[in-house]
Structure 1
Amino acid sequence: MTEGAAVHGPRRFTAREAIALLSTDFTDLPDPTAPAPPRSYGPDGPLAWQGYGASRDRAAERTGEEESVVCGTATVKGEDGGTTRAVLIAFEFGFLGGSLGERTGDRLEAAHTYAREHRLPVVSLVATGGSRMQEGMRALVQLQRVARQSALTRAARLPQIAVLRDPTTGGGWATLGAGADVILALPGAQVGFAGSRVRPPDADPAAYTAEAQLASGAVDAVVPERELPEALALWLRLLTDPSTDPVPPPPALGDAGLPATGWEAVRAARAPRRPGAEAYLDASFTRRAAISGDRCGGTDEGMLCGFGTRARDGRTVAYAAQTGTATRPAGYRTAARLIRLADRLRIPVLTLVDTPGAANDAEAERQGAGAAIAELFAAVAAAETPVTTLLIGEGGSGGALALAAPDNTWATPDSYFSVIAPEPAAAILKRPADEVRATADQLRIRPQDLVELGVVRGVVERER
């Protein structure tokens, strides 16, 4: 049993088994070290580590591989018949714990270079214990090399997807894993920077699992083995479908007409049976794949983010949707992450605004509410890909405006947008409670008011 495994733990795949889950036409890339003369090290490597060469020989004989990573190209096919060609990088944990050495770095660099030259997405099937101790700092600096290649691939506007197998620890997690655009993990996989043999003695092992990383916002989804091929095929199709055309706003789903007063607008937007984000997303997309978490330790269930296939024309659209709750800092950071990714991949964005405002409790302040909102404002402002916004409920102050596209925001009849909600507005102005409704009128927050003020482009109607 290899280090870190449990008697009833997750299944451990060889590199070739992991590849076979996803494709039947995998072709190895040429070994970049084969045609070149070997480095001037002896058989025991740059440190002359006694027995290292023999360990490599045994690992090669046991696994059938010459190094800890297998790189090649493959066609990933979904259940609907759609296919995407990709570069696959699969770690062989049976080869010295899937550790990264200089030759591993050679192969990873060659794989990313091939991906850029042929405009292919990169999928990393990670299973590694970290850097190879027998090569010392020559092994550790491969992390800089890998990070450089990942950055170049990112700059080339090519998506990178990581699938975390058991175990994913050390520098492999901190580069190919955590540095990917979308991160999927197999259930029960050990995932963490610290492997089980170097953790503090009082460490909670549950914190180093795929499920814990999902809860803390570091992983987008935990995907069972049987669902992985289709999930990966969907992600590849969604992330390799650029478009320069903006998304038209969805039609209204509610039955409400335009409100006569400001307070009627507030009541319509707060109505419990009013169609919310899930209803609009279901109506807009045939298939969706969600991203989760801000990569900073947080998630917000009140902010739905991901990519989907638009029902009307089949093209990919990114979405960020508030669900009517006060938005947490993690929600703003997740939405900013989504918009930056869509912008880099040239995928249009649809945002749905529905929040009474940003969360303003003490914990939200400690989590950096102001900085998170500023980050989202900046992501929307800097986006070169078209962003379309539909106000579907409450538009509470800057916490709502941060998600709205300047000059391309629309409203449903059962929505309102306000510099601040009528109740706190009245309180700030030291007005009694019976003047809240009059204050709502003075704020001019109805959809038709917003059009007249030039805040929204128009009010969308229900489809007939």
Structure 2
Amino acid sequence: MAERLSAREVLTALADEATFDELPPPARISPPDGPLAWPGYDAARARAAAHTGEEESVVCGTARVGGTRAVLIAFEFGFLGGSLGERTGDRLEAAYAYARQRRIPVVPLVATGGSRMQEGMRALTQLQRVARESALTREAGLAQVAVLRDPTTGGGWATLGAGADVVLALPGAQVGFAGSRVRPADADPAAYTAEAQVAAGAADAVVPPAQLRATLARWLRLLTCPSTTPAPPPEPLGETAVLPATGWDAVRRARSPLRPRAAAYLDAYFTDRVSISGDRCGGADPDGMLCGFGTHEGRTVAYAAQTGTATRPAGYRTAARLIRLADRLGIPVLTLVDTPGAANDAEAERQGAGAAIADVFGAVASARTPLTTLVIGEGGSGGALALAAPGNTWATPDSYFSVIAPELAAAILKRPPREVEATADGLRIRPQDLVELGVIRGTVGA
């Protein structure tokens, strides 16, 4: 179980020294024992206040985290289990409105058991208020970075937590829609953890407490630096700048195990970077798609990079999520194309491969922020083209881009295996061919 800190302790741990300024809570006159006249409710609230020193289950205010100003919303689990009631909703609504007025990001530091039983449906409907405030903040182009503490369950997870742009979690935190008292008796408790949510693509990373402040500061800095200038394509990392002589030579060089892959390009391009993970639909493709934000020459650039494997549907959906987030925040995007093609096994079809690829095509087509693409290896069919920026795609000398792999093209055309190399030539897949055909803008390093 993760360590449970109070709201004030969490704020002290994360905010720059002497920068937290609490927002005044909105005034509300409630009837005795709340909207349901629940016997003993006022007494329970009084005991919670005496125990925690707080008047409600959230503390809201502004602070700087690593120098970036943000609205921080810290839940106090000691106050009736961090539950949401009408007064909680008042405070959350006011905090989000303040963030939009000041054009600053929002950081929910969540620790809640869900909606407050003593207020019944009046408490549950606070989730609609929270969802609307989050949606308005998203429309305003402001980032939301959630930190999941222990526990994060119920409507708090399904709105403030899972609805954030980036979701960080503390190790061992209980995270799930169903709290421990309402889930099936035979349920596997390991499924309701921060680690399980990351594996399922619902959260981005588990961050140790000692690293949380620096990690959150990095995220806030990166997500609050918009730019209208396209990201320049990376310099090639291959050993030779000589363009391939034949189409099959291009294929052979792109498939070489010695060729630099996406991780090497990202390390060389960015001075620092942080990753998002997961498609928010139950899947992740950490081995096939690398997505996140980094610093290049002093400004933020988002990236979605294929790693040379057959990209899974979750990888495409994660890339689409990344592109749309960058677009909302006004951050330029760099994509690295390197895949023999989309995964085409039966499981990939069951996971919605076609719809996932369509999602990326749609995200690229509708993006207003500038996109830049570099083909660094294999460019296999539509599974590669989905990430390519129209009019601003470049290629390295050790890459190729083809309507389909030459072997498969030969099979479709009913040609014998000995004609695969000639088919590669006929497809005109070399970087210089692609420039001549007007498919890409140019080659880098050649």
Alignment TM class, shorter chain as reference: over 0.9
2:194 aligned with 1:210: yes
How far residue 290 of structure 1 moved from its aligned partner, in angstroms, is 0.1
Deviation beyond 4 Å, 4+ runs, structure 1: none
Q: What is the TM-score with the length of structure 1 in the denominator?
A: 0.95
Distance 1:258 1:26 in 2: 57
Q: Select 2:143's aligned residue among 152, 156, 159.
A: 159
Letter in structure 2 aligned against 1:281: L
Residue 107 (1) aligns with residue 91 (2): yes
Alignment of 1:110-125 (within 5 A): 110-125=94-109
Name the CA distance, whole Å, in 1 between partners of 2:389 and 2:239: 25
Matches within 5 A, 1:51-450: 51-77=40-66, 83-256=67-240, 257-301=242-286, 302-310=288-296, 313-450=297-434
Moved more, 231-240 or 423-432: 423-432
**Distance in 2 of aligned mates of 1:454 and 1:163:** 46
- 1:316 Cα deviation (Å)? 0.2
**Alpha-carbon displacement from aligned partner over 1:290-328 (angstroms, at most 9, x marks no partner):** 000000010102100000000xx2100000000000000
Give the drift of 1:250.
1.1
Structure 1: distance between partners of 2:25 and 2:150? 25
Aligned residue identity for 1:370 = G
Q: Which amino acid aligns with 1:425?
A: A
1:421, 1:427 → 2: CA distance?
10
Q: Please give the alpha-carbon distance, in whole angstroms, between the structure 2 residues aligned to 1:251 and 1:455.
A: 20
Q: Which amino acid letter does the alignment assign opposite residue 26 of structure 2?
A: P
Name which of 7, 11, 17 aligns with 2:3: 11
Q: Which secondary structure state, in structure 1, belongs to the residue aligned with residue 320 of structure 2?
A: helix
Report the equivalent of 1:6.
none
- Provide TM-score, normalisation by structure 2: 0.98
The CA deviation at 1:412 is 0.3
Question: Residue 20 of structure 2 corresponds to which residue in structure 1?
Answer: 26
Give, in whole Å, the separation in 2 of the partners of 1:148 and 1:55.
Answer: 29
- Which amino acid in structure 1 is aligned with residue 298 of structure 2? G
Query: C-alpha distance in 2, partners of 1:319/1:165?
Result: 28
Structure 1 vs Structure 2 CA RMSD:
0.7
Q: Distance in 2 between matches of 1:227 and 1:365?
A: 39
Q: Secondary structure at the match of 2:443?
A: coil
Distance 2:440 2:343 in 1: 24
- C-alpha distance in 1 between matches for 2:95 and 2:409: 58
The code of the aligned residue for 1:57 comes to A
CA distance in 2, matches of 1:124, 1:286: 28
- 1:27 Cα deviation after fit: 1.1
What displacement does 1:223 show? Answer: 0.1
Query: How far apart are residue 31 of structure 1 and its match?
Result: 1.1
In 1, Cα distance between the equivalents of 2:318 and 2:86? Answer: 35
1:430, distance to aligned residue in structure 2 (A): 1.0
SS at structure 2 position matched to 1:404: coil
Q: Distance in 2 between matches of 1:252 and 1:84?
A: 34
- Paired-residue identity, %: 79
Gaps in structure 2 of 5+ consecutive residues: none
Q: Which residue of 2 aligns with 1:4?
A: none
Name the SS of the counterpart of 2:271 in structure 1: strand
Q: Partners in 2 of 1:46 and 1:247 — Cα distance?
A: 54
Report the count of equivalent residues: 442
Deviations 1:425-460 (CA, angstroms, capped at 9, x unpaired) = 111111111110000000000000000000000000
Q: CA deviation at 1:248?
A: 1.3
Deviation at 1:398, TM superposition (A): 0.1
Distance 2:271 2:58 in 1: 36
SS at structure 2 position matched to 1:294: coil
DSSP 3-state at the match of 1:74: strand
Equivalents in 1 of 2:198, 2:134: separation in Å? 22
Secondary structure of 2:37's counterpart equals: coil
Q: Tell me, what secondary structure is at the counterpart of 1:232?
A: helix
TM-fit CA distance, 1:252: 1.0
SS in 1 for 2:442: coil
1:27-46 equivalences under 5 Å are 27-33=21-27, 38-39=29-30, 41-42=31-32, 44-46=33-35
CA distances 1:223-247 after superposition (whole Å, capped 9, x unpaired)? 0000000000000000000000011
Distance of 1:258 and 1:156 partners within structure 2 = 46
1:202, distance to aligned residue in structure 2 (A) = 1.0
The amino acid that maps onto 2:48 is: A
- Deviations for 1:277-300, whole angstroms, at most 9, x for unmatched residues? 011101110000000000001010
CA–CA separation in structure 1 for the residues paired with 2:280 and 2:302: 18
Measured against aligned partners, the alpha-carbon deviations of 1:137-162 in whole angstroms (never above 9, x if no partner) come to 00000000000000111111000000
Distance 1:153 1:431 in 2: 57
Secondary structure of the residue aligned to 1:19 is helix
- SS of the aligned residue for 1:391 comes to strand
